Amino acid sequence: MIKTSFAALSVPKAGAVVVLALDGRKLTQTGAELDKATGGALARAMRESRFHGRKDQTLVLPAPSGLTVSRIMLCGIGKPAEFDDLAAQNLGGRVVSQLGTSGDTRVSVVADPVKGLGIAGPALAANIAYGAILGSYRFDKYRTKEKPEDKPSLEAMTVMTRDGAAAERAFEPLSKVAEGVFFTRDLVSEPANVIYPETLAQQARALTKLGVKVEVLGKEEMKKLGMGALLGVAQGSAHDPRLIVMRWNGAPRAKEKRPIAFVGKGVTFDSGGISIKPAANMEDMKWDMGGAGVVIGLMRALAGRKAKVNVVGIGGLVENMPSGTAQRPGDVVKTMSGQTVEVINTDAEGRLVLGDALWYVQDKFKPHTVVNLATLTGAIIIALGHEMAGLFANDDRLSDRLIDAGKKVGELLWRMPLAEAYDKDINSDIADMKNVGAGRGAGSIAAAQFLKRYIQDGVKWAHLDIAGVTWNTRAKPIVPKGGTAFGVRLLDRLVRDHYESK
C-alpha cells in the first residue's frame, strides 16, 4: 500500500510532480507556474501531443531544464462541473499505475483549487489519495524471484491542498474503507489450500479487535438448526463447514432497533462436486467465496470508520468436493426453513448454502433489509459480461438505492427480473423445489427465484450475482488485476447514504 500524506500548496522541488489541466489544454495555477519556469515547455508538450486536458487523459514527460523535479505528469480533469469524487479516485489510481515503476519513490500531486469543480478542495485531495491507495494493491506474497524492475518503485504520495488538516479528516474514513477492500482482495486471492472454511472463519475472528462481535457455528450446531442444504454441500469435503456471524452495533440508540444484514456465499473451493466442472480454469474456483469475502471486508470497513449503524454479516463457508461422501444428484435435503430441495446439479451449490444462511439471519436477528452477494452463476457473465453485477430485488426503493450507490463508486449493477413464470421453473416433482431450472435459459433468474423462497414476509431483499466482477483480468485505475472486492465500496456507500444514524 502506498503511503499518503497531505501538505500545503506549493511548487514541488523534487521527485515526480502531478499537475491538473482542464479541457482546452488549460493548466491550473501550479502547472502554469511550472510552464513559465520552463519557458513554455509544458504548453508545447501539450500542443504536440493528443493531450487536451479531458477527463482521464494523462501526459508524462521528463522534467524540462530549469526544474529540479524528475518528471511531470499532466492529468486532465475535463469540464470542472463533471469532475466528482470517483473521477478524483481514478486520477489517483492512474498516477500510481503510470508512475509506479518509473524509478521515482515519491510523487507530489498538486490539487490546485478549480472554480466550479464538482468536488470541494479537501474532498478532492482526500479522494485522490484514496484512489492512489486502491490502485496500489498487489498480491505478491508468494513471489520469490520477482525482477527488481518489475517491482513498484513508488512508495509515497503527498497531495498538496489549501487545507491539509481538512483533507486528512476527509481521508480518514476513506482509508478505513480501503483497508476493508484490501482485506477482501487478500482473502479472495489466497489459494484454496490456505483459505478453507476453518481458516476463513479465523480471518473473520480478527474483526473482534475493531469491536465486531464474531460467532462461528460448527457442523454440529448447524445440524441442530436443521441446515440440511448447507451441510449437504459440505459433506464431500475433508474440511468441515462454518457459519460466521459478525455483528457491528454502531448505533445502539437508533430508533430502528432491527439491523440491516449482509449475507455472503463462502464456497472456498468449488469443484462442482459429483457434477464436476471441466478442468480448464478450475483454479479460478478459489474465489467462489467472494461473496463472504466481501461481507467480511465490509464489516471491517464499517467498524473501522465507526459507522453509526447496526449491521449483521453472515458467511456460509463450505468446500464443494467430490468424494465417497459427497452429495449426489437426485438427493433431497431439508433446509432450516423446513422446505425441501431436490438436488439436480451439485454444481448449483451456492444457492443451497445461501438458502440456509438467509433463513438463519432472518430467524435470529429479524433484519429490516437483507442483501446477499454470491458468485452464483456463469449465466450472469453471459448476460452482463465483466462490467456489471446482476441485481435482483423484491423492493424497488432498495434496488434504486443499490444502483445509485454502485454508480457513485464505479461498481455498476443491472437489475434483472423476478416473475412467477420463472419461479415455476424450479418446482420439483418430488420435493418443494429443485436447485436448478429446466434447460439452459434464464439460469441466473432461476437461482434468484430459488433464493427468494427463503425471504420471509416483510423483509426487503436484494441479491447481487457478482460472478463476473469478483476477479479482474484487465487492470483499471483503482482495481488492479486479481481480486476486485466488488461490493465493499458499494455497500459501504449504501449504508452511508441511507442507513446510518445522522
Based on the residue annotation, tell me whether 277 is a catalytic residue of this protein: yes
Please tell me what DSSP assigns to residue 344. Answer: S
Report the amino acid identity of residue 226.
G
Helix or strand (DSSP H, E) at 17:
strand 16-22
Please, which residues have CB within 8 angstroms of residue 359's CB and are 6 or more apart in sequence?
335, 336, 337, 454, 456
N-term to C-term CA, the chain: 32
Alpha helices for 15-108 (secondary structure H):
29-37, 41-47, 85-99
Distance CA 339, CA 316 (A): 18
Question: What is the CB-side half-sphere exposure of residue 341 using CA atoms within 13 A?
Answer: 37
DSSP-assigned letters across all residues of 403-455: HHHHHHHT--EEE----HHHHGGG--SSSSEESS-SSSTTHHHHHHHHHHTTP
Task: Check: CB of residue 441 under 8 Å from CB of residue 410.
Answer: no
Task: Check: CB of residue 127 under 8 Å from CB of residue 119.
Answer: yes
Q: Angle 368-389-264 (CA atoms, 0-180°, nearest 5)?
A: 50
Task: Check: CB of residue 489 under 8 Å from CB of residue 175.
Answer: no
Pairing of strands 389-393, 369-374: unpaired
Residue that is written with C-alpha cell 521528463 in the block: 62
Residue that is written with C-alpha cell 491539509 in the block: 164
Torsion of CA 114, 117, 123, 125, to 10 degrees: -40
Catalytic residue of the set 55, 138, 277, 334: 277
Distance CA 222, CA 283 (A): 29
Question: What is the CB-side half-sphere exposure of residue 80 using CA atoms within 13 A?
Answer: 16
Question: What is the CB-side half-sphere exposure of residue 46 using CA atoms within 13 A?
Answer: 26
Over the Cα atoms of the chain, what is R_g? 25
Catalytic residue of the set 25, 242, 300, 351: 351
Alpha helices for 275-365 (secondary structure H):
290-304, 350-365
Give me the numbers of helices (H) and strands (E) for the chain, helices first please: 15, 20
List the catalytic residues: 277, 351
